């Protein structure tokens, strides 16, 4: 009885891990925003490709969110091509 309970719990945990991976993959897809106004509602400082990138435009009001996937999805909004989309 006790052994079968452990097997049942292990199977539940395993099935949850497998299903959890599928939901994580769906969440990883980066959202594409229509314009900078929409992107800045969620990320006021814009989105940087990496944390080592410096802003060419000078000092900004907000620190950018760092995400290479999100940056690549919204690359069209990086007007000055400095690696930060929609910086403020």
Q: Domain total for the chain?
A: 2
Task: Based on the fold, state whether residues 12 and 46 are members of the same structural domain.
Answer: no
42-72 burial code (b ≥16 CB/10 A, e <16) = ebbbbbbbeeeeebeeeeeeeebbbbeebbe
| 7/41 same-domain check | no
Entry pTM: 0.65
Note the pLDDT tens digit of each residue in 32-81: 999 999 999 999 999 999 999 988 877 788 999 999 999 999 999 999 99
Long-range CB contacts for residues 27-33, cutoff 8 Å, separation at least 24: 28/69, 30/67, 30/69, 30/70, 30/72, 30/73, 30/74, 31/70, 31/73, 32/73, 32/74, 33/74, 33/77
pLDDT for the residue 18: 57
Co-location of 82 and 56 in the same domain? yes
Domain that holds residue 75: 31-88
């Amino acid at each position: 009885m006790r052994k079968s309970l452990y097997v049942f719990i292990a199977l539940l945990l395993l099935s949850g891990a497998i299903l959890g991976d599928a939901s994580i993959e769906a969440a990883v897809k980066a959202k594409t925003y229509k314009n900078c106004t929409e992107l800045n509602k969620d990320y006021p400082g814009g989105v940087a490709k990496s944390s080592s990138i410096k802003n060419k435009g000078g000092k900004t009001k907000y620190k950018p969110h760092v995400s290479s996937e999100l940056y690549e999805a919204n690359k069209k909004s990086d007007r000055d091509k400095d690696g930060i989309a929609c910086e403020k």
